[in-house]
Chains A and B, each alone.
Chain A
């Protein structure tokens, strides 16, 4: 029963199995389904409401994150070369747009990919994220970080937010 209800996990693990083999054949796919079902039965993850599947939004989010990764790579590299040991940073409070724990988790993970930022602390009661940002020069740069994080959160809600 646990396995049947968790069919998306079984499907995903089977895909990983097939990719690891690198070829598709009946034997590999069946073997993959068996292994995935066994893993799912032995180590069940807590059941969450299923993620909505919005391929277009997902693709947009993927491209956005990819661009962010390139921009942040260049920015961090520039900070290293230009300022080096005198690089400056700051901690910015960013208001959370949602109280969904899952979206907050996704936002925190995506923040680690976006330019020079990482989430240090989540204050759920106060609805705030505390974001460490590399390359802050002046205190008004904080507003830029807040705007950027707001855009990221909006995108995340559009992609994986629950239907109301």
Chain B
């Protein structure tokens, strides 16, 4: 089971690095927002794997909170971009 966890965490870490590449490269603000949203999902996934490893559910409410805050953040940012462009 340890090998499985190592593999899973490795894949998630690789995915996180790749999505950060997209955040850095852009080119548009919306690309960055989409990539950051993926990053938040990966954080939630990684904390789920932590829970699976230690069978400790005390951080589950935190995961729910992070998932929801990430959602609100992405939506707000996307709307903001739209407004900027309209003022331009």
Contacts and interface: CB of A to CB of B under 8 A. Distances in A.
Nearest to A19: B64
Nearest to A21: B61
B60 interface: yes
B57 interface: yes
A20 B61 CA distance: 6
Interface string B39-83: 000000000000000000100110010000000000000000000
B61 to A, nearest CB: 6
Contacts of B57: 22
A12 to B, nearest CB: 15
Nearest to B57: A22
A117 to B, nearest CB: 16
Contacts of A20: 61, 64
Contacts of B60: 22
B19 to A, nearest CB: 13
A22 B62 CA distance: 13
A20 B64 CA distance: 8
B51 to A, nearest CB: 13
B21 to A, nearest CB: 14
A110 B61 CA distance: 27
Nearest to A16: B64
Contacts of A22: 57, 60
Interface string A21-46: 01000000000000000000000000
A24 to B, nearest CB: 16
Interface string A46-68: 00000000000000000000000
A150 B60 CA distance: 39
Contacts of B61: 20
Nearest to B60: A22
A22 B61 CA distance: 9
Nearest to B58: A22
B55 to A, nearest CB: 14
4 contacts: A20-B61, A20-B64, A22-B57, A22-B60
Interface of A: 20, 22
4 smallest beta-carbon distances between A and B, as pairs: A20-B61, A20-B64, A22-B57, A22-B60
